[in-house]
Amino acid sequence: MKILVVEDDKKLGGFLRKGLEARGFVVDFSDNGDEGYTLATTRSYDALVLDIMLPGRDGLSILRNLRDRRSSVPVILLTARSALNERLDGLNLGADDYLTKPFYIEELVARLHALLRRASGQQKDSIQHGEVVVNLLTREVKCRGEAVELTAREFALLTFLMRSPGRTFTRTQICEHVWNYHFDPGTNLVDVYVQHLRKKLSGEGGAPLIETVRGVGYRIPEEK
């Protein structure tokens, strides 16, 4: 899940970025409203976290322009505790939720998961393919009923692929969504992580959950 955080307090922004990445999100960060708006309109995100008070374009201006462009990306506004009018303005402009400062990172994560479930039409907290079950809230992964320990990046890669069974993703797409940078043709980073997941989820001699599509990339096959 790829998130854009626009927050002018660099210390808070760094805290949010670190906390979200530790929980499996891929995060872009900006401390300026103009740059944040450019990112929001030129890149694809699953959700935006916008502070209202920003240098350049403020958060409400960014939100207004996104909705004018018919963008339906979920937006959470960050507001001061006393800014009731701003919260109401934000909701009227099309914000999906808001958080008042200070707040706990766990609450932001829970609200993001709720927004993403609603945006994707999901009404459950887990995804399953065959004998592999992933709990999106607790980040627990089980294969044939046994717990499987994954790193944060392995978890991000697995959930990215499992959300779109049958769809083949190129190494470039995987790098942009899971690692948040452009694919270097000289690296085998994606291949190495796929092999790690295959070993952890299939065991020796088991059928691999992740299929290789030669010349293209990887996919989770559709269940028959």
What is the rounded distance in angstroms from the CA atom of residue 71 to the CA atom of residue 151?
33
- Taking every pair of Cα atoms in the chain, the longest distance, rounded to a whole number of angstroms, is 61
Query: What burial class does residue 201 get, using C-beta atoms within 10 Å of its C-beta: 0-12 exposed, 13-18 middle, 19+ buried?
Result: buried
What is the rounded distance in angstroms from the CA atom of residue 107 to the CA atom of residue 105?
5
Q: What is the mean pLDDT of residues 110-116?
A: 85
Domain end among 70, 94, 120: 120
**Domain enclosing residue 85, as ranges:** 2-120
What is the rounded distance in angstroms from the CA atom of residue 162 to the CA atom of residue 160?
6
Q: Is 43 among the domain residues?
A: yes
At 174-213, the pLDDT tens digits run 887 787 666 566 778 899 999 999 989 875 445 678 999 9
Least confident of 26-30, 34-38, 86-90, 183-187: 183-187
Least confident of 35-39, 184-188, 212-216: 184-188
- Tell whether 102 and 139 lie within a shared domain: no
Q: What is the mean pLDDT of residues 100-120?
A: 83
- Whether 122 shows a pLDDT value over 60: the answer reads no
Q: What pLDDT sits at residue 31?
A: 94
What order do you get walking across the sheet with 169-170 strand by strand?
A: 169-170, 217-219, 211-213
- Tell whether 82 and 157 lie within a shared domain: no
Comparison of pLDDT for 47 and 204, the residue scoring more? 47
- Tell whether 115 and 19 lie within a shared domain: yes
Q: Is 73 among the domain residues?
A: yes
Q: How many domains does the chain have?
A: 2
At 55-78, the pLDDT tens digits run 999 999 999 999 998 888 899 999
Q: Is 111 among the domain residues?
A: yes
Q: What pLDDT sits at residue 215?
A: 87
